[in-house]
């Protein structure tokens, strides 16, 4: 007997209509798929943390990028352009000699 467990009780799927039995099977497949995806995500999170820890060993003042406020030709601060979300024009990378 296949049991559909809910907060309202347990129900015998074999006594349901064929359409709802089919829906139950599809729902169980989704539950299995979600569990598999969840396990995959947890595995990838652990791998990412390991990679970050490895990279962290070289995150120091020698590899840190330093930024200065950007200025225009008149020496005034340049504002960030919000239409370019991947770039912040208000800051420029400082020469690494500093």
Return the pLDDT at 78. Answer: 94
* Domain shared by 52 and 96, yes or no: no
Rounded to whole angstroms, how far apart are CA atoms 93 and 65? 7
* Domain shared by 49 and 70, yes or no: no
Q: Along the 98 residues of the chain, how does pLDDT read in single tens digits?
A: 899 988 999 999 999 999 999 999 999 999 999 999 999 999 999 999 999 999 988 998 889 999 999 999 999 999 999 999 888 999 999 876 65
* Domain shared by 53 and 70, yes or no: no
User: Helix or strand or coil: residue 12?
Assistant: strand
Domain interval for residue 32:
1-59
Rounded to whole angstroms, how far apart are CA atoms 65 and 3? 59
* Domain shared by 39 and 6, yes or no: yes
Q: Which one, of 98, 92, 96, 97, lies nearest residue 69 by Cα? A: 92
User: Helix or strand or coil: residue 95?
Assistant: coil
Q: What share of the chain is helix, strand, coil (3-state, %, to 5)?
A: 45, 15, 40
In the chain, the number of structural domains is 2
The angle subtended at Cα 80 by Cα 79 and Cα 82, nearest 5°, is: 135
Return the pLDDT at 96. Answer: 63
Q: Model pTM?
A: 0.50
């Amino acid at each position: 007997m296949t049991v559909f467990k809910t907060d309202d009780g347990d129900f015998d799927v074999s006594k349901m209509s064929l359409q709802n039995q089919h829906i139950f099977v599809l729902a169980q497949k989704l539950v299995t798929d979600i569990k598999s995806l969840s396990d995959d995500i947890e595995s990838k999170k652990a791998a990412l943390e390991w990679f970050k820890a490895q990279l962290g060993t070289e995150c120091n003042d020698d590899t840190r990028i330093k930024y200065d406020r950007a200025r225009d030709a008149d020496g005034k601060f340049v504002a960030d352009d919000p239409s370019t979300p991947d770039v912040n024009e208000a800051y420029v990378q400082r020469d690494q000699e500093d």
